[in-house]
Amino acid sequence: MARELDDGGIAYTCEQPLSHFTTMGVGGPAEILVQPSTVDEMVLAIERARDLGLPVKVLGAGSNLLIHDAGVRGVVLHTMRLKSFVFGEDGRIEAGAGAHFPTLVKAAARRGLRGIEGGVGIPGSIGGVLTMNAGAYAFSISPMVEQVIVVSPNQGRITLDRGQIEFRYRSSSFGENLVITHVRLRLASDEPEAIKRDMDEHMRYRKQTQPVGVKSAGCIFKNPDGESAGRLLDRLGLKGFSVGSARISGVHANFIVHDGKARASDVAALIEAVQELVLKKTSITLEQEVMVWH
Ligand code: EPU
């Protein structure tokens, strides 16, 4: 793989620690970390990995991800260099998969474009936001999506219109096989001041109700039917419950936080302990929302 990447002039590193590429800040290295600067490089890396039978994982902003201490084998494609976005006609935004979502939201607000301001606190890349169908309060990305370009391991580059994409609760039809390279959003027009007011209000509320500025991977568990996992864990008295240096946040019980000293094994053990406890006390099986790589 290294020779192929060298031949293509594509930036990569071997056994690169990944912890600082995630908001949780834990986890081991990637066997091969590729950071394509163009979509062509991305396609080439995916094709070479496929030819060599190497597994490919896509890393965006690493904000909903738990990487185990042993790290990951195969190729990790990091979208961070595909981060540019431009404004087009009629409220359109063309963004590379690695575009930082909060930056995009703020730029759209300044431009007088409404529709994504409710997602201002979601610390992902736009590719990650679509793949996970991330949401917050009433905000959902799907109505804003006009078109997405993806790379499929077998069919190469494909353009998908919104109707060809399925968005489910915290997942989508992109799954693990379709790698997003480009997203076109279409937003509505409004007064920049009005959008900024709403955006600031969303951020203020988020800061009040969720732990901001500490190491975490967002919500750990999916909400079970008709219930907030956070409220459930809170009711069970789990705020502050810890394993090693990983603990359940005192602000929102569906967040696991730490002060920089936790290992992935602490977080994984805490997740398991909480799942067991909840099953025993309520017969509810909590499903993980956070993506786990090992
Ligand atoms: N609550 C508690 N204790 C807690 C946490 C929540 O009593 O520790 C109560 C709240 O007071 C509120 C209710 O539970 O009455 C619901 O809480 P919240 O509004 O925070 O919503 P949530 O269902 O817990 C979901 C998403 C969040 C998203 C918020 C806001 C999931 C798993 N979580 O949380 O998403 O930010 O709504 O829209 O769907 C994420 O995906 O990483 C994430 C954090």
Which residue(s) pair with 66 in the sheet?
Answer: 292
Identify whether 170 is a catalytic site residue: yes
Torsion of CA 139, 145, 151, 154, to 10 degrees: 100
Asked whether 122 lines ligand 1 (CB < 6 A), one says: no
Please, what are the domains in the chain? 2-78 (3.30.43.10), 85-193 (3.30.465.10), 211-293 (3.90.78.10)
* 277 CB-near residues (< 8 Å, 6+ apart): 236, 238
* 37 CB-near residues (< 8 Å, 6+ apart): 10, 11, 81, 82
Give the distance (Å) from ligand 1 centre to CA of residue 254. Answer: 7
Measuring from atom 20 of ligand 1, which residue has the nearest CA? 209
> What DSSP character marks residue 163?
G
CB 286 within 8 A of CB 274: yes
pTM for this prediction: 0.96
H helix intervals, the chain: 2-7, 39-52, 101-110, 126-132, 192-209, 229-235, 264-282
> In whole angstroms, how far apart are CA 162 and each of 10, 44, 187, 278, 283?
31, 26, 14, 38, 38
* 25 CB-near residues (< 8 Å, 6+ apart): 19, 215, 258, 260
> What DSSP character marks residue 223?
P
Walk along the chain (294 residues) in steps of 10 and give the mean pLDDT of each run: 84 95 98 94 91 94 98 97 97 98 98 97 97 90 96 90 94 91 98 98 96 97 97 98 98 98 98 98 97 95
Dmax over Cα atoms in the chain, in whole Å?
57
> Ligand 1, from 167, 231, 284, 287: best to mutate by most atoms within 8 Å of Cβ?
231
Asked whether 230 lines ligand 1 (CB < 6 A), one says: yes
Q: How far apart are CA 41 and CA 55, in angstroms?
A: 17
Asked whether 231 lines ligand 1 (CB < 6 A), one says: yes
Asked whether 254 lines ligand 1 (CB < 6 A), one says: yes
pLDDT of residue 183: 98
* Nearest residue to 45 via CA among 75, 71, 18: 75
Identify whether 289 is a catalytic site residue: yes
Of 170, 227, 235, 247, catalytic? 170
Report the SS3 class of residue 116: coil
Asked whether 82 lines ligand 1 (CB < 6 A), one says: no
Q: How far apart are CA 285 and CA 77, in angstroms?
A: 32
Q: How far apart are CA 112 and CA 89, in angstroms?
A: 13
Q: How far apart are CA 35 and CA 12, in angstroms?
A: 6
